[in-house]
């Protein structure tokens, strides 16, 4: 590999990692603060993608589709939290796994009924459709750069929100000691509802952004679910910073793994997870159990 190719593969890895971060950030918050194992997290990703497809068909504009889908996703997260998840905070993880697995089946069936089983494509908005020529033989799609920029913006916004706002303070406190936050008289129910809803919406946004490059198809949620759990475990449960570093590591390991050791590429990310866990059993930024 020449230096130009390495640079582009680096870009590929970071871009994949940034998209993963959007998904994993929500998952790690829900897992770390609410203590809920949310297997249905991938379903929000799928719903985001289908909403982007459906609304951009209806409105003819991808930007408008996202503007409409975002509040819809926030609302959906809120409804799911109030109607289902909120009853299980005190319960064992097994109940949560059963419930959220059931949610996967329900969402998949709804998707089949509403949108059918066909694969759909979403057009990249015209202004972002071009490519940037990087070397004589290599070019890079503008839309992928755009996704990376959006993901970085979201990551920065999350950093500011968590470190410099009141609700961020509560989230930080909640992730290190849930009981203490409750004792201090913070409305935990409201905090949990917000966190779940935002987490679900972040994942849905990832689905919306990925729709033009990933296409939209049944079962797309399950594909990202496992890899985002890997990210959460590597980064340490409940840590946004960990999720960010973990996503970057997975993105790069996956990208370079499949080019340099194609025979082993499907296990590179899991080997990485195992190595990190041997070194730090609670993940990179995890609170020691």
Partner 1 sequence: MRSLLRTISRRDLLRQTAVAGLASAANFIPAVPAIAQKAKVKVGLLLPYSGTYAALGHNITDAMKLGLAEAGNKLGGRDFELVQLDSEADPAKAAANTNKLIVGEKVDFLSGPVHSGVAMAMAKIAREEGTLTIVSNAGANAVTREMCGANIFRTSFSNWQVCFPMGTEMARRGLKRVVSVTWNYAAGKEMIGAFREGFEKAGGSVVKEILIPFPNVEFQANLTEIAALKPDAVFAFFAGAGAVKFVKDYAESGVKAKIPLYGAGFLTDGTLPAQGAAAEGVFTTLHYADSLQLPANLRFRDAFKKATGRDADVYAVQGYDTAQLLIRAMEKVKGDTGATKELIRAMEEAKFDSPRGAWRYSKSHNPVQDVYLREVRNGDNAVVGVAEKEVSDPGTGCGMA
Binding residues for partner 1, rule: CB under 8 A, are 1-2, 5, 8-9, 12-13, 15-16, 117-121, 123-124, 129, 131, 133, 137-141, 143-144, 213-215, 217-220, 223, 254-256, 258-259, 262-263, 265-266
Strand pairing partners for 139? 133
Of 189 and 219, nearer to partner 1 (C-beta) is 219
Compute φ and ψ for 287, nearest 5 degrees.
Answer: -80, 130
Rounded to a whole number of angstroms, the minimum distance from the CB of residue 119 to partner 1 is 5
Of 210 and 284, nearer to partner 1 (C-beta) is 210
Rounded to a whole number of angstroms, the minimum distance from the CB of residue 37 to partner 1 is 24
Of 128 and 161, nearer to partner 1 (C-beta) is 128
Of 43 and 197, nearer to partner 1 (C-beta) is 43
Of 6 and 274, nearer to partner 1 (C-beta) is 6
Rounded to a whole number of angstroms, the minimum distance from the CB of residue 263 to partner 1 is 8
Closest to 175 in 3D by CA, of 117, 240, 256: 240
Rounded to a whole number of angstroms, the minimum distance from the CB of residue 267 to partner 1 is 9
Of 1 and 160, nearer to partner 1 (C-beta) is 1
Rounded to a whole number of angstroms, the minimum distance from the CB of residue 116 to partner 1 is 9
Tokens of 144: 């992928």
d(CA 234, CA 270): 10
Rounded to a whole number of angstroms, the minimum distance from the CB of residue 192 to partner 1 is 33
Rounded to a whole number of angstroms, the minimum distance from the CB of residue 106 to partner 1 is 16
Of 15 and 28, nearer to partner 1 (C-beta) is 15
d(CA 213, CA 114): 22
Tokens of 74: 């926030």
């Amino acid at each position: 590999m020449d230096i130009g190719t390495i640079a582009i593969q680096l870009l590929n890895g970071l871009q994949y990692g940034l998209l993963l971060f959007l998904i994993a950030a929500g998952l790690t918050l829900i897992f770390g603060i609410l203590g809920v194992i949310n297997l249905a997290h991938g379903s929000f990703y799928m719903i985001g993608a289908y909403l982007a497809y459906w609304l951009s068909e209806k409105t003819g504009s991808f930007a408008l589709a996202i503007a409409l889908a975002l509040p819809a996703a926030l609302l959906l997260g809120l409804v799911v939290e109030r109607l289902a998840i909120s009853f299980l905070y005190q319960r064992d993880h097994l109940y949560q796994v059963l419930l959220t697995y059931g949610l996967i089946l329900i969402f998949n069936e709804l998707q089949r009924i509403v949108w059918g089983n066909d694969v759909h494509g979403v057009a990249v908005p015209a202004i972002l459709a071009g490519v940037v020529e990087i070397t004589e033989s290599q070019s890079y799609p503008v839309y992928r750069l755009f996704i990376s920029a959006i993901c970085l913006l979201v990551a920065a916004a999350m950093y500011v929100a968590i470190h410099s706002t009141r609700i961020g303070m509560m989230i930080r406190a909640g992730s290190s000691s849930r009981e203490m936050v409750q004792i201090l008289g913070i409305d935990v129910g409201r905090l949990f509802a917000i966190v779940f809803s935002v987490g679900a919406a972040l994942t849905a946004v990832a689905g919306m952004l990925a729709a033009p490059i990933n296409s939209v198809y049944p079962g797309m949620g399950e594909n990202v679910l496992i890899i985002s759990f890997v990210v959460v475990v590597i980064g340490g449960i409940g840590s946004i910073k960990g999720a960010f570093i973990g996503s970057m590591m997975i993105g790069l390991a996956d990208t370079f793994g499949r080019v340099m050791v194609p025979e082993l590429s499907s296990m590179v990310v899991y080997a990485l997870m195992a190595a990190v866990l041997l070194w730090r059993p609670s993940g990179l930024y995890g609170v020691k159990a």
